[in-house]
Amino acid sequence: MPALREPFLGRLLEVWDVLAFTFDFEVFEHALGSDAYATPAPWLPAFVVPGADVSVVGRDGTGGVYVYCESRQQGCCLHIDTRGNAVCLGDDVQQAVALLVALPYWPELLAQCRSGELAALRELAPRLEREACDDLPALPAARVELQAFLELPLLADPILRLHELAVDRAPPVTVWSPHGWRYESPVHGSEPRAAAR
């Protein structure tokens, strides 16, 4: 199954500038293979995902990448960053985009709430939403327009969804550095855990 179905990719590319500049998601016109990220570099996360078909579908402004992985007919869309974090954002790219449009500050939310407790995430989210809207007053309107134009799944409770994906359940794949340590969720500790493959 392709990482991005053609109609959805076409719609993403039509709103590329809004996604990139308002939601920090720069979708690639053509997905990249994992070999493009297999060699360490200070500005790119180097990773391998054993046993999975991997498509790098986009990136953010800090060098992190959005990666669709499919293993044993089960898919997930991860965000992998240069600090050794890997966070599942949905079962597919469309679900991941729905979450990052709903919570464009999700990385700060997880970084500032290291415990990952749902109540703490809920307490912090309104302040981050206000700050995001102060910086980008068009954000609420852009969010509504993108949800409709991209036909994104409706998230009744985005904070709960982020908590379920980043804290409550492990992704169906394991992401490794070429140096032998494993990428982890940022709510599970500040340093990547060393382990033998």
Residue boundaries of the structural domains of the chain: 6-187
Given the DSSP bridges, would you call strands 53-59 and 65-71 parallel, antiparallel or unpaired? Answer: antiparallel
**Residue 28 — φ and ψ, nearest 5°?**
-85, 140
**Predicted pLDDT of residue 190:** 38
Per-residue pLDDT of the chain (197 residues; tens, 9 = 90+): 456 778 999 999 999 999 999 999 999 999 998 888 888 776 788 999 999 999 999 999 999 999 999 988 789 999 999 889 999 999 999 999 999 999 999 999 999 998 889 999 999 999 999 999 999 999 999 999 999 999 999 999 999 999 999 888 878 899 999 888 999 988 854 343 444 33
Q: Give the pLDDT score at 195.
A: 42
CB 192, CB 177: distance < 8 Å: yes
| Residue 1 pLDDT | 45
**Percentage helix, strand, coil for the chain under 3-state DSSP, each rounded to 5:** 40, 20, 35
- Degrees (nearest 5) of the Cα angle 102, 23, 33? 105
- The Cα angle at residue 38 between residues 33 and 39, in degrees rounded to 5: 135
Residue with tokens 């993403």: 12
DSSP structural state of residue 197: -
pTM: 0.90
